[in-house]
Structure 1
Amino acid sequence: MPLEPDRSPGFLLWHVTLRWQREMAAALTPLDLTHVQFVLLATTWWLNTHGQNPNQLNLATAAGTDVKMTSQVLRRLETKGLIRREVDPSDTRARLLRVTEQGGRLAREAVAAVEAADRAFFGSAADPALVATLRRLAGHDPG
């Protein structure tokens, strides 16, 4: 017998995801960023601040995004002056990604906005058990 929709974990996750995505879009719209632009900018910024200058493939892997879509979004971020691509001295076919000064400022502001939106959305539900469950479901922890 099929589960009732409000008892189906997948169905509920779908609805939670849709609500959360709307909240993220609302938090990022004033900063003129889409959610995927934010993810790629923030991931590049985080990697840069931790001593890494990723190429497009490294960034897509770290962010969990499709490589071709990543390329398209990076072009848009580059046009906005938020990132720059530099030739990799060890492989002239590859480009290393660096956040510009403007991109770094926006990344910090956007991370703060997204974290505030997460706190408002999850409230007290963002306890360690929920985070551990989400990490496991996302494949970030063997489980």
Structure 2
Amino acid sequence: MTKVFRSQYADNHQESTGFLFAKVYNDWHAKVKNTLKDVDLTHPQFIILSSLGALELQRDLISQVNLATFSDMDVTTVSQVLKLLLKKGLIERREHPKDSRTKVIFLTDSGREHMNRALPLVEEIDQTYFGQLGEQVTDFNQLLIKLEEMNG
């Protein structure tokens, strides 16, 4: 059998932006996941709690769709994560005061506590991990923002 590997990067995988990005993301993500275990949260749960906390600063009533849009997660995933957070007592769902078809989501005191314990842990990982770039971290962030704007 002839060995075939039809990649333009077969001779140098470090030229593959996607492969490099995946490797870096997987390394960073593993650190975040391991740290979040200490506060009994998964990464998606952390994203939803911190998104909810950030959205609360902007508006009083937050729907599942608002959360999905803000966190850039699909509505089905957000729904599944919210069910788990509800079981853990970290969020509450209430009927929207003006639209009975819509539920609004609130952090409970316990949810806020979990979020505020997790935020500095994850932010420390970010600062340590990406801080290795030194002054280039600002350029890196600007490139990520540009990609998000172009594709979001």
User: Taking structure 2 as the reference length, what is the TM-score of the superposition?
Assistant: 0.86
Instruction: Name stretches of at least 5 consecutive residues in structure 2 with no aligned partner.
Output: 1-6
Distance 2:139 2:62 in 1: 32
Q: What is the aligned residue count?
A: 142
Distance 2:150 2:82 in 1: 25
Which AA in structure 2 matches 1:131?
N
Verify the 8 A CA contact 2:92 2:107 in the aligned structure 1.
yes
In the alignment, what sits opposite 2:139? 129
**Which whole-Å deviations, capped at 9, do the CAs of 1:73-119 have from their partners, x for residues lacking one?**
10110111111011001110110011011111111111111001111
Residues 64-103 of structure 1 mapped to structure 2, 5 A cutoff: 64-103=72-111
Which AA in structure 1 matches 2:114?
L
Verify the 8 A CA contact 1:43 1:63 in the aligned structure 2.
yes
Residues 1-143 of structure 1 mapped to structure 2, 5 A cutoff: 2-3=8-9, 4-125=12-133, 127-139=137-149
- Report the alpha carbon displacement of residue 15 of structure 1 after superposing the two structures with TM: 0.6
- Report the alpha carbon displacement of residue 140 of structure 1 after superposing the two structures with TM: 6.9
Verify the 8 A CA contact 1:135 1:141 in the aligned structure 2.
no
Runs of 4+ deviating beyond 6 Å: none
Distance 1:80 1:129 in 2: 39
**Which whole-Å deviations, capped at 9, do the CAs of 1:35-93 have from their partners, x for residues lacking one?**
00000011011111333321111110100101011101101101111110110011101
Query: Secondary structure of the residue that 1:138 maps to in structure 2?
Result: helix
Distance 2:145 2:151 in 1: 6
User: Taking structure 1 as the reference length, what is the TM-score of the superposition?
Assistant: 0.92
Which AA in structure 2 matches 1:96?
V
Which AA in structure 1 matches 2:142?
A
Distance 2:124 2:78 in 1: 25
Distance 1:27 1:139 in 2: 29
Verify the 8 A CA contact 2:130 2:137 in the aligned structure 1.
no
Distance 1:137 1:15 in 2: 18
Distance 1:83 1:139 in 2: 30
Instruction: Name stretches of at least 5 consecutive residues in structure 1 with no aligned partner.
Output: none
